Structure 1
Amino acid sequence: MSKIRITKQFNFETGHALFGYDGKCKNVHGHSYKLSVTVIGEPITDSSNVKFGMVIDFGDLKKIVKEEIVDIFDHATVFNQNTPHIELAKELKDRGHHVILVDYQPTSENMVIDFSTKIKNRLPDTIKLFSLKLQETETSFAEWYASDNF
């Protein structure tokens, strides 16, 4: 049977700041992120299965990515928990803002690594995460490929 890749795209808004950075991104700012999730597998061959012919139902993939990424990161502000931004994070949380503290510098590169782990852990055994593309602007993005990480 042939291996097939399918891709689902997602959008979410997230703020962040890069502590210690020497440019504008040291300031709190936000992006309209676009996340492309590509998985690979073989289409279901059992004609009695309601998902016959599918690698994975797009709805099932959407549920995983929404629960693990979009619903958590959308309209949140992300800070590295190991920086002085922790004080700003506490102030924002105290004022009712949605803040996420991570153990990494919240760059697109590190976020896409984090997302790959979260998504891989939820996929069925027969489906593998092939790649992720996290676009933070029209011209800037980070990509993660399974083939680069084994």
Structure 2
Amino acid sequence: MIQQMYPQVFHDYQYELNKDMHVSAAHFIPHEDAGTCRNVHGHTYFINVTIAGDELDDSGFLVNFKTLKKLVHGQFDHTVLNDHPAFQSGRSDDFPTTEAVARKICEMIQEELDRLPGKPVCLQVFVRETPTSYVVYRPKKVKNNG
């Protein structure tokens, strides 16, 4: 695996966890300005998730890596992103662009994190669509447990 450095998120939490994943998925952008991306095509998305918090769970984890992989890889790998309800609102900000994919992953992960006793937060989701193009999504309002 190639080691990659990511844009850094500055925070005051004691722990920061990063999880890398690959997801192979197809999509199309249903808008005339998308050019050839209006056609169904696929990518091997490279995803990095940054989570932070101050409290570890009973197993000594901030978040179990397996949980994150199941959430993201388990839902999106080898699928057509347009088929997922998250991308079917018809609103342009929900078209499965790299920007929306990063945002949806962040929202999905945060929903799961909110169920955990330590209330960790998803600070950043990095999604590389091609070797030369990537998006970083950071939610504007992040809960501060401290």
Name the CA distance, whole Å, in 2 between partners of 1:2 and 1:20: 40
The alpha carbon displacement at 1:121 in A equals: 1.0
Larger radius of gyration: 1
Question: Which residues of structure 2 form unaligned runs of 5+?
Answer: 1-11
Matched, 1:61 2:51: no
The residue number in structure 2 matching 1:130 is 123
Distance 2:136 2:71 in 1: 18
SS at match of 2:84: strand
Aligned length: 121
Shift of 1:132: 0.7
Alpha carbons 1:40, 1:128 under 8 Å: kept? yes
Residue pairs, 1:1-150, within 5 angstroms: 3-22=14-33, 23-42=35-54, 44=56, 50-51=59-60, 54=61, 56-57=62-63, 60-63=64-67, 65-79=68-82, 99-101=83-85, 102=87, 103=89, 104-123=94-113, 124-126=116-118, 127-146=120-139, 148-149=140-141
Q: CA deviation at 1:43?
A: 5.6
Deviations 1:40-98 (A, max 9, x none): 11264x9xx552xx5x25xx1332x233221121111122xxxxxxxxxxxxxxxxxxx
TM value normalised by structure 2? 0.71
Classify the secondary structure of the residue corresponding to 1:136.
Answer: strand
Question: Residue in 2 aligned with 1:93?
Answer: none
Q: Which runs of 5+ in 1 are unaligned?
A: 80-98
| Cα RMSD (Å) | 2.3
